[in-house]
Amino acid sequence: MINNNEKILVIGASTGGTEALKDVLSQLPEHCPGIVITQHMPEGFTKSFASRLDGLCKVRVKEAEPGDKVLAGHAYLAPGHSHLLLKRNGNGYICELSSADPVNRHRPSVDVLFKSAAKTAGKNAIGIILTGMGKDGALGMKEMHDAGAHTFAQDEKSCVVFGMPKEAISQGGVDEIVSLKEIASRVMSYLGNPVK
């Protein structure tokens, strides 16, 4: 059994991602590791989206705020106006927000989150890249993979747009290519804690 206190799920998504995130998060059990998410979304929509997910999932979902402790069974969604980064706090993690320039034309950017997870969590991170246009997240996922993280990409068939997962795969940063319906169960199986 892997120690879930140190483990963290790091998810990036864009076009089609709101439904994909709902699919993945609603299948995760309340005892899963903490989750940090960047979904490309305009400012003003992320809070209500997090609240909607919170009502549908066993895990608690909220819009990330600076200094939020990343707790098991909780998910933190990047607000539409800021990059979300992961920082160390003792033997756990906290959320940090940044209003730095957009990356790959996005703020929040998946690359910013993934790169911070590579640096902060290394082999304790599990990276998941979902449907989306463009290449945001591909280089960050490669950095996570190179730092020892286990990484998943949504397969082409279940994506609305296969841009971001395809780029991540072509960069060599993906360990497993999985259909949307199987991501949650594959993640929990990898953690040695299969979903019943």
User: Domain 8-190 classified CATH 3.40.50.180?
Assistant: yes
Active-site residue identified among 106, 136, 150, 158: 136
Give the start-to-end residue ranges of the domains of the chain.
8-190
Asked about 150 being catalytic, the answer comes back as: no
For this structure, is 170 an active site residue? no
Q: Report the C-alpha gap between 19 and 165 in whole angstroms.
A: 16
Catalytic pick among 40, 106, 145, 150: 40
**Does the pTM of the predicted model rise above 0.75?**
yes
> Is 136 labeled as catalytic in the residue annotation?
yes
Along the 196 residues of the chain, how does pLDDT read in single tens digits?
344 468 999 999 999 999 999 999 999 999 999 999 999 999 999 999 999 999 999 999 999 999 999 999 999 999 999 999 999 998 899 999 999 999 999 999 999 999 999 999 999 999 999 999 999 999 999 999 999 999 999 999 999 999 999 999 999 999 999 999 999 999 999 998 776 5
